[in-house]
Structure 1
Amino acid sequence: MVFLLVSLTLLHVLTLALLLIATLEKSWWVWAESEITDLWYNCFHDNETETWLCATTSESDWLQSVQALMILSVVFSSISFLVFLVQLFIVSRGGLFYFTGLCQAFAGFTDFAACLIFTFHRKEILNDSRDLSRGRFGYCFILAWLCVPLLLVSGVLYVHLRKKQ
């Protein structure tokens, strides 16, 4: 039981960290090695000063949807973790962690929706006249997709987890 609890806690912390990185880092779409776009900024690498110059992205309804869903995903996963820690001490013996699992599953579904929207509406989100075949998805987008099954699996595991002495 202790091994399962520790494993599930580590999975949750890992997933939450990956979700935060995917939401806050600067690589959802890469045009070239010197130009990247994320949910918040468009960045260019200045070779003279060796720094990144960033400007806020132009807002679109699709981009705001992805931003909101990713933030909701982080919030649901954080709430889920805090509720899990509280339930460890409050739930009676034999109790289930339904609310924790439900919050974690909602985090997975909101992350899934954000990734789908970005996948299918990247032309409108990037709001660029360039050919999209010249760019590629960045590592943050891949991390966001990786979080979807991890969040859903941990949500299901929480639902089936019973508290034992």
Structure 2
Amino acid sequence: MVLLLISITVLHLSALAMLLISTLEKAWWIWDDSEISDLWYNCFQDNVTKTWLCAATNENDWLQSVQALMVLSVVFSSISFLVFLGQLFAMSKGGLFYFTGFCQAFAGFTDFAACLIFTFHRKEILADTRDLSKGRFGYCFILAWVCVPLLLLSGVMYVHLRKKQ
């Protein structure tokens, strides 16, 4: 039982860390080594000083929905972990972690929706920038996609987890 709790906790914390990185880092779309975009900024590398110069992205409805869904995903996953810790110590023997599992699954669904919106509407989201055919998805976008099955898996595991002690 202890090994199962440690495994679920490690899975949850690693998914939460990847979710935070994918939400806050600057690599959702990469044109080349000198220009990147994320949910919050467009950055260019200054060749003279070798520093990144960042400006706020141009807001549109699609970008705001991706931003909101990613932040919601982080919030629900964090709430899920805190509720899990509370239930672990306060719940009576034989109880199930339904609320924790549903919060975690909802975090997975919001992350999934954000990734889908960015995938299908990247032209509208990145409209005022360079030609999209010269760019590619960045590692933060890939991390966000990797988080989807991890969040859903841990949500299902929480729903089936029963407190034994």
TM-score class, shorter:
over 0.9
1:12 aligns with 2:1: no
1:137 aligns with 2:164: no
Residue pair 2:58, 2:128 contacting (<8 A) in 1 also: no
- 2:72 counterpart residue number: 72
Q: For the residues of structure 2 that align with 1:66 and 1:134, how far apart are their CA atoms?
A: 22
SS of the equivalent of 1:45 reads strand
**Structure 1 residue 131: Cα displacement:** 2.8
Q: Tell me how far apart the structure 1 counterparts of residues 111 and 124 of structure 2 sit (CA, whole Å).
A: 19
The offset of 1:129, in angstroms, is 5.8
Runs of at least 5 residues in structure 1 that lack an aligned partner in the other structure: none
Identity %, equivalent residues: 81
Structure 2 gap ranges (5+): none
> Aligned residues, how many?
165
Q: Which amino acid aligns with 1:111?
A: D
Distance apart, 1:132 and its partner CA: 1.5
Q: Which residue type is aligned with residue 83 of structure 2?
A: V
Aligned residue for 2:43? 43
Q: Which letter does structure 1 place at the counterpart of 2:86?
A: V
* Separation in structure 2 between the aligned mates of residue 90 and residue 46 of structure 1, nearest angstrom: 54
Structure 1 outlier segments of 4+, above 6 Å: none
Alignment-mate amino acid for residue 21 of structure 1: I
Letter in 2 for 1:41: Y
Residue matched to 2:89:
89
Deviation at 1:47, TM superposition (A): 1.3
What is the Cα-based RMSD across aligned positions, in Å?
0.7
Superposed, 1:95-134 pairs within 5 Å as: 95-128=95-128, 130-134=130-134
**TM norm structure 1:** 0.98
TM-score (ref. length: structure 2): 0.98
